[in-house]
Amino acid sequence: MAIVPYSLFDTYKKKILSLPMDYKEDDLKSESFLVDKDEKKHLEIYYAPFEYVNEAAKVMIVGITPGLHQMKRSFSTILDPKNEGLSDEQLLHEVKKNSSFEGPMRIYLIQMLDELGLHSYLELASTSELFSTASHLVQTASVIRYPVFYKGKNYSGSTPKMLKTELLKKHIMESFTKEIVNMQNPLIIPLGVNVTAVFDYLTESGYVSPNSVLYGFPHTSGGNGHRHRQFAENKEQMKKKLSSYFG
């Protein structure tokens, strides 16, 4: 069963639908979609329709925050005329399938997950199916659900630090923790050291069992030039973890 907290989507759906199909970046990063900000820290959080939660997912893949590219994809999904007749839940599910880690990041993610053999444990030909026909097996998420921008650019997760910044920690603890407590103990794959640090904190706080976390997976952003080395260094321990988790 999927759960969808509708509150913000109810508020913003009409605003999204009022945009032209050829909307500009400034239309998205505008006062109309501003959710929260910290002027002193140069942080802004904008709305994007990423509320869909798949409670029954076997795997949860967790990034930092949706970037501008994913934000644009999510808005375009809502505006796409072919999605006009969908229920809100179906619409938000389409957003997740179309937008989550979309672009080169998704390609690298699939390659690495397939190399670990995750698809075989899920009885799939490839983990690419998690973003299409097998989307019922996955929950894609971010520790900060809505797009965060630092000095107007995509927030990287490191400056400022998530757990030491009141605004960011608030969104993790008030939103993301509600998402994970409703899950049915999926395998959690945190992408990169900054997300892993958040999960270290959440395991210490009792929200997550460390046994369900696949440690060592790199962030698959093209901007992470160390991803191949990080993956190679941790590959064997991750394969052992998958074997013990699904075994």
Kindly give the pairing relationship between strand 59-63 and strand 187-190: parallel
Residue 79 pLDDT > 70 = yes
- Domain assignments of the chain as residue spans, ordered by start: 2-246
The Cα–Cα gap between 59 and 179 comes to 14
CATH 2.40.50.420 describes domain 2-246: no
Token readout for 182 is 């409703």
Print burial letters for 27-65: b (CB count within 10 Å at least 16), e (below 16). Answer: bbbeeebebeebeeeebbbbbbbbbbbbeebbbbbbbbb
**Distance (Å) of CA 161 to CA 131, 146, 155, 170, 193:** 30, 17, 10, 13, 12
148-150/43-46 β-pairing: antiparallel
pLDDT tens column, 125-182: 999 999 999 999 999 999 999 999 999 999 999 999 999 999 999 999 999 999 998 8
pLDDT of residue 16: 97
Write the DSSP assignment of 87-153 as a string of letters: -HHHHHHHHHHHHTTTTHHHHHHHHHHHHHTHHHHTT-S-GGGGGTTTGGGEEEEESS-S-EEETTE
Mean of all residue pLDDT scores within the chain: 93
Name the range with the highest mean pLDDT among 9-13, 103-107, 225-229: 9-13
pLDDT for residue 6 is more than 70: no
